[in-house]
Amino acid sequence: MKSYRKELYFNIPSRRGLVNITPQVQQAIRDSGIKEGLVLINAMNITASVFINDDESGLHQDFETWLEGLAPEKPYSRYHHNGFEDNADAHLKRSVMGRETVVAVTDGKLDFGTWEQIFYYEFDGKRQKHVLIKIIGE
Amino acid sequence: MKSYRKELYFNIPSRRGLVNITPQVQQAIRDSGIKEGLVLINAMNITASVFINDDESGLHQDFETWLEGLAPEKPYSRYHHNGFEDNADAHLKRSVMGRETVVAVTDGKLDFGTWEQIFYYEFDGKRQKHVLIKIIGE
Amino acid sequence: MKSYRKELYFNIPSRRGLVNITPQVQQAIRDSGIKEGLVLINAMNITASVFINDDESGLHQDFETWLEGLAPEKPYSRYHHNGFEDNADAHLKRSVMGRETVVAVTDGKLDFGTWEQIFYYEFDGKRQKHVLIKIIGE
């Protein structure tokens, strides 16, 4: 069994933002030399998500509106967590979208359906955050 | 390390529907010959989910009502994604229920609690969709 | 490839409660002797979650309030599932927070960001429940 590890770094200039990281994950699989296995991609920060969906800007606006409805950012005072912080909503939004995804590696590639793309979703930006890629297989 | 891959196909006649796919996953594990490892089961379409819960029809009705409350299908115009599509709600509902599950394989079987069952949840049916089963182990 | 399996047991005296299980997972990795691989941690009951977030009591109160808003416990009669049961809300809350998490094992340790901690979240307690830890790697 082989394993491979890589971190990606992000510094999103706004509080929230989406980045398509599919090319970086595919490159990590190539670099690993692993042909058959599993790849785990997870946010290493607890106010961000890694998830799979469509790369369509209208949908991304819909995610913004929808998550803000489910877990509003303001007023900050609505959350117990916001004593010294203002990011409780980021922890909740990330819980909806998920911390991680696991994808099959087949024949050295992401084993994906037609429209699957991997995204990093920042919910508390303006600082350095990171994502872990871990691949195991042969 | 061994690996095994199989796709399942669905063509649900309604917009939404649930299918218990536990027997197909167990059969894939038998076919793989893998005794100890992990099995990943994921929707390959971005308007469907794979998740684990109870096979109880009352609960399935509750999921329907609850998800419709969290991310209503209509009016279609409420979503930016629905310019040429009408399935934005399906992308959101799938985000709540999740794309994938990972299950332990122990002694050649799904290593499950008493009531755990694996479901495919269609949110935008009336067309062919697919699910990936990927097993790694020994 | 090596594999290792362990169950954790819980008997939470209230309906809902959170337990930080990071030390038990780290101990299982040590016991397994696995240095590089993946660890799956999942609830074996369908009314509980395993998830990763911050070990901060204010945030945990926010989770309680927020989940109760998304999927209220009462009135019990609002759910079809509650014919002989009263725990439909527990199935829904667990769907938001997730059944499982998969974490990278690197150099014999949980490969974690600074604030990541693994929690068991009970939504229907006062009885024995269990969590599965399955590790594969080398």
Q: What's the CA gap between B19 and B55, in Å, rounded?
A: 10
CATH, residue B31? 2.60.120.460
Q: What's the CA gap between A118 and B101, in Å, rounded?
A: 16
Residue from the list C53, C106, C136 with its beta carbon closest to the beta carbon of A95:
C53
The ranges of chain B with pLDDT < 70 are none
Nearest chain B Cα distance for residue A112, angstroms: 6
Mean pLDDT of chain C: 98
Q: What angle do CA B76, B80, B82 make, to 5 degrees?
A: 45
DSSP-derived letter for residue C46 is T
Q: Which residue of B has its CA nearest to C79?
A: B62
What confidence score (pLDDT) does residue A51 get?
A: 98
Mean pLDDT of chain A: 98
Residue contact B81–A59, C-beta within 8 A: yes
- Domain extent, residue A131, equals 2-137
**pLDDT: which is higher, C84 or A54:** A54
What confidence score (pLDDT) does residue C120 get?
A: 98
How many structural domains comprise chain C?
Answer: 1
What confidence score (pLDDT) does residue C36 get?
A: 98
The arithmetic mean of pLDDT across residues C64-70, rounded, is 98
Q: Which of B63, B67, B99, B123 to mutate to probe the C interface, most C CBs <10 Å?
A: B63
Residue from the list A38, A82, A96 with its beta carbon closest to the beta carbon of C38:
A38
Q: How many residues does chain A have?
A: 138
Query: Per-residue pLDDT tens for A112-121?
Result: 999 999 999 9
Q: Which of C40, C66, C107 to mutate to probe the A interface, most A CBs <10 Å?
A: C66
Residues of A within 8 A of B69 (CB-CB) are: none
Residues of C with CB under 8 A from a CB of B: 1, 3, 5, 38, 40, 42-46, 70-71, 79-83, 88, 91-92, 94-96, 98-100, 102, 130, 132, 134, 136
Bridge partners, residue B48, by sequence: B122
What confidence score (pLDDT) does residue A11 get?
A: 98
Chains touching B by CB (3 or more pairs below 8 Å):
A, C
Residue from the list C38, C80, C134 with its beta carbon closest to the beta carbon of B58:
C80
Residues of A within 8 A of B82 (CB-CB) are: 58
Query: Per-residue pLDDT tens for A99-110?
Result: 999 999 999 999
Query: Per-residue pLDDT tens for A23-67?
Result: 999 999 999 999 999 999 999 999 999 999 999 999 999 999 999
Taking alpha carbons only, the member of A14, A43, A40 closest to residue A28 is A40
Please check whether residue A109 is in contact with residue A27, taking contact to mean a CB–CB distance below 8 angstroms: no
Residues of A with CB under 8 A from a CB of B: 1, 36-38, 51-54, 56-59, 61-63, 66, 70, 96-98, 101-104, 106, 111-116, 136-138
Residue contact C3–B138, C-beta within 8 A: yes
What confidence score (pLDDT) does residue B32 get?
A: 98
Q: Please, which pLDDT band fits residue A80 given cuts at 50, 70 and 90?
A: very high
Buried b or exposed e, range A98-124, using 16+ CB within 10 angstroms? bbbbbbbbbeeebbbbeebbbbbbbbb
The arithmetic mean of pLDDT across residues C46-59, rounded, is 98
Residues of C within 8 A of A132 (CB-CB) are: 104, 111, 113
Residue contact A5–C106, C-beta within 8 A: yes
Alpha helices in chain A (DSSP H): 22-32, 57-70, 88-97
In chain C, the percentage of residues whose pLDDT exceeds 70 is 100
Q: What's the CA gap between B7 and B41, in Å, rounded?
A: 10
What confidence score (pLDDT) does residue C69 get?
A: 98
Q: Which residue of A has its CA nearest to B80?
A: A58
Residue from the list A81, A100, A132 with its beta carbon closest to the beta carbon of C59:
A81
In chain B, the percentage of residues whose pLDDT exceeds 70 is 100
Residue keyed to tokens 């195991």: A136
What confidence score (pLDDT) does residue A129 get?
A: 98
